[in-house]
Amino acid sequence: MFSKVKLKQRDVALIVIVVTALAAMGWYFGMYQPTLTTNQSLQDELDIAQLELVRTRAAAASLGQLREAVAQLEEQQARFLRALPETAEFGRLLADLRSSVLASGATLVSVSQSEAQGASLPAGVRPIGVSLSLEGSFDAIYRVLQSIERLERFSTINALSINLPGEVTSFDPQLSSQLGLTVYTFDPQAATPATTETAPAAPAAPATPEAPAGGTQ
């Protein structure tokens, strides 16, 4: 009788252990593991949100500096445009070039101008190509280049060729030179987009009132 009771207690203990183990496994896989996965996902989302917050704060901090840089660039562009000669005054620039050539001791054989191509230029900036045909000694032609630099004009020298005469009879012969440069001018009309104003339409004439049903008196 004692052994049977003891055996039953052992069976009960084994059953309790098995049930407890199954309950623990069910709790682990059914509740703890999903909760752990959810917490990990929330932590990952929190890390991403914190990273985005740091980037947003950095962008907001640099926004003021970016605006200041843009304002400085706009001011530099405005000063550049104010310093350019207007396209309508290009004849004065040609007169300055002629005076510089004559003052340098060279001879201006011919001068011509043409449209030049310019990429990524502000609105209103018009490049004009100028070609000078010169004659004179090497020193005179060199002084012409120096005088063009001292004109304080926004220009670039694109081409320069110097040719010797057919027969060289001295150590300082008269040379012929072709000088090509681009001068940048400003056209206010091209800088401001043309706006066409349409005249307001005349008001429509009022409709003629209908006569009353009883006729006219």
Q: Are residues 186 and 145 in the same domain?
A: yes
Q: Which range of residues forms the domain containing residue 164? A: 90-191
Q: Is position 140 within any domain?
A: yes
Q: Are residues 174 and 120 in the same domain?
A: yes
- Tens-digit pLDDT profile for the chain (217 aa)? 444 445 567 777 777 787 888 788 877 777 777 787 888 888 888 888 888 888 888 887 787 778 888 888 877 767 766 666 666 567 777 888 888 888 888 988 988 888 777 667 777 787 888 888 999 988 999 998 888 887 766 778 888 898 887 777 778 888 899 999 888 877 777 666 544 344 444 444 444 444 444 444 3
Does residue 104 contact residue 147 with C-beta atoms inside 8 Å? yes
Residues with Cβ within 8 Å of 112's Cβ and at least 6 positions away in sequence, in order, are: 130, 131
With residue 217 as reference, give the H or E element that holds it. none
Per-residue tokens: 34: 């999903």
Per-residue tokens: 67: 């605006």
Secondary structure (3-state) at 48 = helix
Q: What is the pTM of this model?
A: 0.47
Vertex 101: Cα angle to 99 and 107 (nearest 5): 120
- Quote the CA–CA distance of 73 and 64 in Å, as a whole number: 14
The last residue of one of the domains, among 59, 83, 107, is 83
Q: Are residues 94 and 79 in the same domain?
A: no
Place of tokens 């009022």: 206
Q: How many domains does the chain have?
A: 2
Place of tokens 């150590």: 171
Is the torsion defined by CA of 187, 190, 193, 195 positive or negative? positive
Q: Are residues 71 and 110 in the same domain?
A: no
